[in-house]
Structure 1
Amino acid sequence: MTLEFTKMQGCGNDYIYVDCFSGMPENAPELARKLSPRHFAVGADGLICICKSEVADAQMRMFNADGSESKMCGNGIRCVAQWLYEHGRAGETMTVDTLAGRKTIRRVAEGQWQVDMGFAEFLPERVPVQGLGAGPVVGAELMVRGRAWPVTCISMGNPHCVSVVEDVAGVDLPALGPCFEHHSAFPEGVNAEFIQLLGPGHLKMRVWERGTGETFACGTGACASAAASVALGLCPPDTDIQVELTGGTLVIRVGGDRRVLMTGPAVTAFTGSAEV
């Protein structure tokens, strides 16, 4: 079987996009595992299926490189919007259904999209996180590899654990990332973000993504990091926060009501086909 695809990326967070308006492939998790390995296949952080929705302009289904399905992908949904726009399936404002709810997306410039990401959720049952108290997990301590890490836990439709550090470049992410991802405090696993405050409204972030590992960028992670910085008093609400990632910069605005807007690029790299 030949699979036609489009390779797209947002700040270096790259996925394989497949037109599934005529139906989802039954083996989507297997396809993600087969096509994602770099140097041995197409190479990507995962697979995203662009599907028909009865109400919205489209539905997004996202599978990590290990085949596990995630409810939401911030960089991915901007690329879905760009794909729909390029293929004449939607205009400059559109809605896309995800497993984390319906998102409204607006084209703000050539290749630039703003996504209403909904509300940052801090309650432990919404993340989910356990064993760190009954209230919002903001500036709590989590023991990882014999060290107490200051953590703020947030759901952006998927779970995040944000730690503020002095120097993100000095974080041993390949060693620490899996320890956070599979920590017993997170029954569904977690995306781990490490952030450094560079100045007012300016963060630097590295991320270990659940089911994939370290990636160049994570849109939901940038949103969670900005929301955490506001909750911790490091950045003010209702202002643009520049989140500098390995693969580029996203602009995040966290409202006083915890509603999050994300603005960033979506780029088509190439189209191709693969025997699967």
Structure 2
Amino acid sequence: MADPLTFTKGHGTENDFVLVPDLDGALGLSAGRAAFLADRRAGVGGDGVIRVVPTELADEPAVREQADRARWFMDYRNADGSVAEMCGNGTRVFAAYLRREGLETGDAFTIATRTGARVVRADADGWAVDLGPWRLADPQTADRDGADALVHVGDGDPFSAISVDLGNPHTVVALPEDVDLGALDLGRAPLVRPAPPNGTNVELVRPIGPGHVAMRVHERGVGETRSCGTGACAAAVATSFWAGSLDTGSTWLVDVPGGRLTVRLLADHGVELAGPAVLVADGTVPAEVLPA
């Protein structure tokens, strides 16, 4: 009889994940198995699945090239089983798991991701991660306000939006003052035009005060989630851009339904995300119920 699959459940501001250790690289993780584990009715339940695997044993050559800097690869899958480039909240939960399991022992270390090696460090809020450089919309496709897309939420009029690349794609909307953030229907995916070739995460943002915004998000391959780390960074970058100031060192508080994240703008268009990471349960799934 095959061994059961071991997992840990964790979350960062209620953006939750199923972590699966694959310390010898023999397990692998198919799209069907990832989707099963993320299923909230038939599986364990989560916004995504993270396979914990040695970087040198990763499937992708570009990831294996990071092995000299990062011992462990965060192999991240969306809830539908599709492969994702990056997950900001996931990096913090991944870091908390590595240290709890003794796979990393310091207060700062490097992890491998599909967007490159990323440094994580223990922080007063839990963990902080340097997510690397961001990039705004192509100026040739944006209007004078930086908008390069229209976003339809429900049946109302479309909102102007700006694209922000953080290694994964985001489309950020600054809501008009007369629109209630909490009343918007994110039960179905917002329609983005022009349609991004690889899909996009959509952030709906409401300014609260200087350096402070509230946000809801519809994640590509998942649906509405309680939080999105890279989305919080995209919201801070876009709001800074609209305010006419992308000052290095500025700090933003981003309130999401699951809590609060801190975003710091770094030099050279870098951005750091900080917030909590909680490991809430450990368990096993019988082999006979797992998809092939």
TM-score for the superposition, normalised by structure 1: 0.89
How far did 1:209 drift?
Answer: 0.3
Contact 2:181 2:205 in 1 (8 A): yes
How far did 1:257 drift?
Answer: 3.3
CA distance in 2, matches of 1:26, 1:169: 39
Question: Among the aligned pairs, what percent are the same residue?
Answer: 36
Q: Give the one of 87, 93, 116 matched to 1:73.
A: 87
* Closer/same/farther in 2, CA of residues 267 and 255 from structure 1, 3 Å limit: same
Contact 1:124 1:136 in 2 (8 A): no
Once the two structures are overlaid, the 10-residue window that deviates more, 39-48 or 242-251, is 39-48
1:98 aligns with 2:109: no
Q: How many pairs were matched up?
A: 266
Q: 1:48-197 residue pairs with structure 2 within 5 A?
A: 48-53=50-55, 54-55=67-68, 56-90=70-104, 91-109=106-124, 112-124=126-138, 133=141, 138-142=146-150, 144=152, 147-165=157-175, 166=177, 167-175=180-188, 177-180=189-192, 183-197=193-207
Structure 2: which 5+ runs fail to align? 56-66
CA distance in 1, matches of 2:245, 2:26: 41
CA distance in 1, matches of 2:278, 2:35: 23
Contact 1:123 1:135 in 2 (8 A): no
* Closer/same/farther in 2, CA of residues 97 and 199 from structure 1, 3 Å limit: same
How far did 1:178 drift?
Answer: 4.1
State the Cα deviation string for residues 101-131 of structure 1 (Å, max 9, x = none).
110011124x701101111111449xxxxxx
* Higher radius of gyration, 1 or 2: 2
Structure 1: which 5+ runs fail to align? 126-131
Match of 1:39 in 2: 41
* Closer/same/farther in 2, CA of residues 200 and 37 from structure 1, 3 Å limit: same
* Closer/same/farther in 2, CA of residues 66 and 174 from structure 1, 3 Å limit: same
State the Cα deviation string for residues 222-263 of structure 1 (Å, max 9, x = none).
011111111111776322210000101000012363210111
Contact 1:15 1:47 in 2 (8 A): yes
Question: Which has a greater percent of strand?
Answer: 1
Match of 1:264 in 2: 275
User: Which one-letter code corresponds to 1:36 in the other structure?
Assistant: A
Contact 2:149 2:163 in 1 (8 A): no
Contact 1:200 1:235 in 2 (8 A): no
How far did 1:146 drift?
Answer: 7.1
How far did 1:27 drift?
Answer: 3.9
User: Which one-letter code corresponds to 1:142 in the other structure?
Assistant: L
Contact 2:172 2:204 in 1 (8 A): yes
CA distance in 1, matches of 2:126, 2:252: 16
Contact 2:11 2:277 in 1 (8 A): yes
Once the two structures are overlaid, the 10-residue window that deviates more, 196-205 or 229-238, is 229-238
* Closer/same/farther in 2, CA of residues 211 and 146 from structure 1, 3 Å limit: same
State the Cα deviation string for residues 162-210 of structure 1 (Å, max 9, x = none).
00113311222224x3423xx5430100000000001111110000000
Once the two structures are overlaid, the 10-residue window that deviates more, 9-18 or 37-46, is 37-46
Q: CA RMSD in A?
A: 2.2
CA distance in 2, matches of 1:93, 1:245: 26
State the Cα deviation string for residues 41-85 of structure 1 (Å, max 9, x = none).
211112101111232131111111111010100000101110111
CA distance in 2, matches of 1:174, 1:24: 38
CA distance in 2, matches of 1:269, 1:36: 15
Match of 2:58 in 1: none
How far did 1:136 drift?
Answer: 9.8
CA distance in 1, matches of 2:143, 2:157: 23
Match of 2:18 in 1: 16
Match of 1:128 in 2: none
CA distance in 2, matches of 1:20, 1:9: 20
CA distance in 2, matches of 1:235, 1:24: 48
User: Which one-letter code corresponds to 1:187 in the other structure?
Assistant: P
Contact 2:207 2:213 in 1 (8 A): yes
